Structure 1
């Protein structure tokens, strides 16, 4: 069965300096589940230098009732700016996180790019019809991450619902 490819892009505007955003996003201890609703992390392994080769298994809960398990491994890094990750598990391919100042003091743009293919048979089978639904579910999960990180950066409660 043919695997369906997805090129997904999210842009987050965050209320903190790029250095602070990078510090949180690149945290080798993988503390993202503390601020990202619907995400859990397991099997976190931090490489000796804290970057290349670090890996974790993440599970994302979809608003549609299914979850996806992905294994992320850091394969490239430009500290403070960009991390590239190999993606395996229910999806395979690569992801990239780019961090940059957006021109306003204390505000950062984060671009999250996914270039992946689905592995699960039911997703490959239904992909021709459900691809737009899967893309909207992805956007929902990513928006929850942006809201959670915004609350985390501003000292809000990451577990409270977004307005």
Structure 2
């Protein structure tokens, strides 16, 4: 049985500049566990030889595997491998592990001068239990994703505020 495709999107807004937000979310050292509650590194970063000197080059050469603890009690292990980096505006990535597919994060400045971060996911669960339960548990999985994303948004907002206050 093939799992159903999940099209998931989130939109976060920050008072910080686009560059400040980019510097945190596109950190080649993947410090997401520093600001995202329930997120931990599942294993050390994997890095192929870097072809250029910029952070974008390092990011393209990096695969990060992170664990996310969902509000429903399960943990997902997801790998992220950037395939397109347009600093400080967009990163496109392939996802693997418990969710297979792709995603995209776009940063822009809205009319209020705030940074808007739009996150798009097109993934399928790969674990047998999620694939089996997907037809009936889809609303629960979608709810858990939304709750996890709200935690990430709050964590990033607080992290950016602490960074701004320390300058």
Aligned to 2:116: 109
CA distance in 2, matches of 1:129, 1:112: 25
Aligned partner of 1:138 among 141, 145, 156: 145
In the alignment, structure 1 residue 23 sits paired with structure 2 residue 23: yes
Tell me the equivalent position of 2:103: 95
| Counterpart secondary structure, 1:50 | helix
The Cα shift of 1:45 comes to 3.1
Question: Which residue number corresponds to residue 129 of structure 2?
Answer: 122
Query: Any stretches of 5+ residues in structure 1 without a counterpart?
Result: 157-163
RMSD: 1.2
Normalization by structure 1: what TM-score? Answer: 0.91
CA displacement 1:33-62 (0-9 Å, x = unmatched): 011000012321345221213111010000
Cα shift readout 1:59-100 (whole Å, capped 9, x = no counterpart) = 000000001001111111111110011101111000111111
Q: Give the distance between the partners of 1:121 and 1:115, measured in 2 at CA.
A: 18
Bigger fraction of residues in helix: 2
For the Cα contact (< 8 Å) 2:27–2:59, is it kept in 1? no
2:59 aligns with one of 51, 60, 81: 51
In structure 2, the gaps of 5 or more residues are 51-56
Q: Which is further off, 22-31 or 37-46? A: 37-46
- Number of equivalenced pairs: 155
